[in-house]
Amino acid sequence: MSRIEGLLKAYAEFVGQPWPRNLAAAEKVWFAVYDPPQERRLLFRIPEFEAVTRKAGHGWRCVDISDLFARWMARHKYREAYFDDPEAMELSLHDFAAAVAAHLATALTAPDADEQTVVALSGVGTLFGLARMSDVLERVMPSIRGRLLVFFPGQYENSQYRLFDAREGWNYLAVPITAKNGD
């Protein structure tokens, strides 16, 4: 069994369990953690994550932020200046994190994203070097009604999440979902 199959199996078992109602927002966030080289395999299998979610009786919405930076930059009034001097863009990256959070909050609060819906977030690797996932999550906490499933290309170890295993980890209360050892 491949690691992605193991992750899908672990997720299917997890999503099929009863959902407690009175959780803190951070406890409504699930991280499906996988090795970054498995990104394309995981993206190909997202419809299977949707299928097991629906089979468990829950709704599904998928939000892909892979091209969000390009769309944000295309609309930015200083984009030409940033192309000439990319280091000048650093001050605007806080605005980019806010734009990512606003985009995600829109999906989390959509009429079809109720308390029984999984909103799945893919493409978080594109945030690397531009925005911190922890910052985005803090901004969307009040918007989570059901569950937020983050497809996370990185590592989870000792309660620490590390995007691409390249940045210092951060401790977060999200529920980790990982492929079982030996799978």
* H helix runs in 29-86, sequence order: 39-55, 68-75, 79-84
How far is Cα 115 from Cα 120, in angstroms, rounded to an integer? 14
pLDDT band per the 50, 70, 90 thresholds, residue 183: very low
| Res 83: pLDDT | 75
How far does Cα 127 stand from its chain's mean position? 10
* Cβ-contact 176, 156 below 8 angstroms: yes
Core vs surface per residue 5-33: b (16+ CB within 10 A) or e: ebbbebbbebbeeeeeeeeebeebbbbbb
Read off the pLDDT of residues 42-92 as tens digits, 9 standing for 90 and up.
999 999 999 999 999 999 999 999 999 999 888 888 778 777 777 777 767
**pLDDT given for residue 78 in this prediction:** 72
Instruction: Retrieve residue 81's tokens.
Output: 């200046």
pLDDT in the model for residue 182: 42
What is the rounded distance in angstroms from the CA atom of residue 101 to the CA atom of residue 164?
20
Burial (Cβ within 10 Å: 0-12, 13-18, ≥19) of residue 119: buried
pLDDT digits (tens, 9 = 90+) for 28-44: 999 999 999 999 999 99
> What's residue 167's pLDDT?
58
pLDDT of residue 181: 47
How many residues appear in the chain? 183
pLDDT digits 0-9 by tens, 108-156? 999 999 999 999 999 998 988 888 888 899 999 999 999 999 999 988 8
Distance from first CA to last CA of the chain, Å, rounded?
6
pLDDT of residue 8: 96
